[in-house]
Amino acid sequence: MSFCIENPHLKQVTLSNQLTLVAIERPQAQTALLSFDVRAGSRYESPEDHGLSHFLEHMVFQGCPGCPSAQALNLKAEGMGAAIDASTSRDVTHFEHLVIPECLSGSAELLASMLRDPAFNEIESERQIILEEALDELDENGRCIDAETLSRRAFWPHSPMGQSVIGNRKRIAAFSVEDLRRYHRAHYGAKNMVATIVGPFEPDRLIEQVQLHFETIPSGERVIPEPAGENPMHPTLERVEDQRSQCDCRLLYPTPGRNSESALGITLLRLCLDDGLAARLPKRLGNELGLAYDQWASWDVDADAGAFELGAELSPKKLIQFIEESHALLRGLKEDPPRGEELERIYFRARWAIQAALDTAEGLTAIYGSPLLYEPNPKTPQERLEALQAISSEELSALASELFVPDHSVLCVVGPTSKMVRKQLESVVQVI
């Protein structure tokens, strides 16, 4: 079955400061969204700078020209629509502001000002907030008990890819305003940014509303992240004993990045395992075995590398069975890949995800704007869907066989385990 997905009316331009700007018309919308994606994240950080991207994300809200304090900045933003939202990940820091359309120019002026020239006021109070946030990953003795952090650290042991986004408390406590200014100068130039506007006007009119403000951001120099680094050369167990009620278990395998030729096939493999309650993972582990209420298959991916993860939070008594069943599900992708109705269902789920995203301003940004930060010519939704539907069962089987091999796998378990279960875990790792 073939489908046709029409592109929205959009325009991509490069401003005089080398900022990439995408303007997308969303007819009949009652709001407009402005966003910036910045090449700043934990994989760009040296050990000495670990956590600085996230710290800087917080600090750009502490005042700028025209807004001498965080309170003044927030009042101005919320006088145009929603509060400005921000997040930091491994390879991008994202800012967005949802406003009423007539406030597009004012929002653009505010965003440009705070990203271009942050005042870095109130560093000590913001430091305390970030230190509190960092406690989420630690127990009362200061040990890291966050499975996300532990599994990535074991998966990329010699690379900034394995660093947590939040950073460590020692470095957070030591960062100075000069550290922030140095990192800001290196990363917050227009060459390291993509801006996206989604609103109810023609693209040229949207660009007209923001161009003069966005062009005030200095060009800077483009930063390139270090290579992802090697994964472990043998099956690895990362286990932390913690007296919680359940175990958080993660099984990870290395993959190419989202810009690779394998990316669409990996997407289909994930959809086969975990996209809706009818997919293989919830059907087997939830409906048939009752192993876990919270289980998932995810693809944690950057432009050049990724981790395919099967995970669950479950009773310690069910831990070994979950690992064995996870291995069986991955073998199933090799030996019995989706065919017929199951394959058609996965194609439809891919189409559904694309069309659902196109129905929101955030989704339009994620499809047409954000990818330009690391990929100069991303596929259109129609091109992506056609390429997905051209992937056969045999190709999915071959890809699963290539990806899910034991040599570079990481098993991470955080939670209470008995002596017997700990011995079983050692044995399971040896036979993955």
Q: What is the pTM of this model?
A: 0.95
In a domain, 3, yes or no: no
Note whether residue 222 is domain-resident: no
- Whether 137 and 255 share a structural domain: no
What is the reported pLDDT for 431?
A: 59
On whether residue 280 sits in a domain, the answer given is yes
Q: What is the pLDDT of residue 429?
A: 78
Cβ density class 84-107: b for 16+ within 10 Å, e for less: bebebbbbbbbbbbbbebebbbbb
Q: Is 77 found in the same domain as 187?
A: yes
Domain identity same for 190 and 242:
no
Tell me if residue 16 falls in helix, strand or coil: coil
Share of the chain above pLDDT 90, in %: 94
Residue 134's pLDDT is 95
The arithmetic mean of pLDDT across residues 267-284, rounded, is 97
Shared-domain flag, residues 15 and 156: yes
Do 194 and 262 belong together in one domain?
no
Average pLDDT over residues 50-64: 97
For the chain, the maximum distance between any two Cα atoms, rounded to a whole number of angstroms, is: 67
Task: Say if strands 193-199 and 410-415 run parallel, antiparallel, or are unpaired.
Answer: unpaired
Q: Is the pLDDT of residue 56 over 70?
A: yes
Tokens of 352: 């559904």
Tokens at residue 377, please? 């010519």
For residue 326, tell me if it sits in a domain.
yes
Domain boundary among 214, 245, 278: 214
345-348 long-range Cβ contacts below 8 angstroms, 24+ apart: 345/278, 346/268, 346/271, 346/272, 346/275, 347/1, 347/388, 347/389
364 part of a folded domain: yes
Domain boundaries, position 392 = 236-431
Boundary of a domain, candidates 214, 244, 272? 214
Pairing of strands 193-199, 20-25: parallel
357-391: pLDDT as tens digits? 999 999 999 999 999 999 999 999 999 999 999 99
- Pair (169, 302) in one structural domain: no
On whether residue 102 sits in a domain, the answer given is yes
Tens-place pLDDT, residues 210-234: 999 999 999 999 999 999 999 998 8
Q: For position 5, what pLDDT does the model report?
A: 84
Residue 260, domain CATH: 3.30.830.10
Residue 426's pLDDT band, with cuts at 50, 70 and 90, is: confident
Tell me if residue 248 falls in helix, strand or coil: strand
Q: What is residue 4's predicted lDDT score, i.e. its pLDDT?
A: 78
Residue 223 located in a structural domain: no
pLDDT of residue 428: 81
C-alpha span between 150 and 135 (Å, rounded): 15
Span 273-283, mean pLDDT?
Answer: 96
Shared domain for 332 and 414, answered yes or no, is: yes
Give the chain's domain count.
Answer: 2
144 with 255, same domain: the answer is: no
- Mean pLDDT of the chain, nearest integer: 95
Is 276 in the same domain as 173? no
Residues 167 and 257 in one domain: no
Is residue 226 situated within a structural domain? no
pLDDT in tens, 27-36: 999 999 999 9
What is the predicted pLDDT for the residue at 430? 65
- Do 285 and 412 fall into the same domain? yes
- The answer to whether residues 208 and 255 belong to one domain is no
Q: What percent of the chain has pLDDT over 70?
A: 99
